[in-house]
Amino acid sequence: MRFSNLITLALTGLVAADLATIQGEFTKIQAAVTNLDNSINGLTSSTDPTTAINTLVSQSNAVTDALNSGTTTVSATDDLSLTDSITLLSSSNSLVSAVNTTVTDLENKKSIVDAANADGTVVTQLQQQKTASQAFIAAVVSKVPSAAQSIANNQAQAVVTDLNNGIVFFGGSASKRAARALRV
């Protein structure tokens, strides 16, 4: 194939299809996390507790759903090249940071969660997100060449650590079994 044809192929997106698909899933997950974070930040001590918790639950479920559908989609893609994996790092960096911000913001609203008597609900939601994150991470890591897997695993560990911090902060326990399951 002539070089110019290769360039055409790359520009039309055929070469980058799987990268684009996986990036698209990161974008959807990030959007769901951002929605959740915005709602968390919108909570005040005068928010009706039932309304507050219903909103948090439905937006947490949206994050879990985005992760689960991301897992299905990513599992069906071809493997990524090393270059694609490095490109994907910026998507995963920003998701790692969004999760950290969201859990921190949630922790800052603990008095409101307490007032709504909803710590247990929050723990359940965070645990669901952790399980869904681990499945999504495993799907992404399985598409990454071995040279990039330790970076991917470190990022994965950061997300799970943050979620575990939130779980413990709200009175749950970060089970060792779940932590071990992450080691791919």
List of residues contacting ligand NAG (CB under 6 A): 100, 103-104, 107, 162, 165-166
Whole-number minimum distance, CB 93 to ligand NAG, in Å? Answer: 12
Closest to ligand NAG by CB, 65 or 107? 107
End-to-end CA distance of the chain: 38
Side-chain-facing half-sphere of 69: CA atoms under 13 Å: 13
- Side chain identity at residue 127, one-letter code: Q
- Angle (CA) 61 63 68, round 5°: 90
Residues 141, 69: Cα–Cα separation, whole Å:
16
Q: Report the nearest approach of ligand NAG to the CB of residue 96 (Å).
A: 9
Torsion angle, alpha carbons of 111, 115, 116, 121, to 10:
50
Q: Which is nearer to ligand NAG, 25 or 162 (CB)?
A: 162
Q: Which residues contact 24 (CB under 8 A, 6 or more apart)?
A: 73
Least separation in angstroms between CB 156 and ligand NAG:
14
Shortest separation between residue 7's beta carbon and ligand NAG, angstroms = 41
Residue number, 38 or 72, with CB nearest to ligand NAG:
38
Pick 27 or 157: Cβ nearer ligand NAG: 157
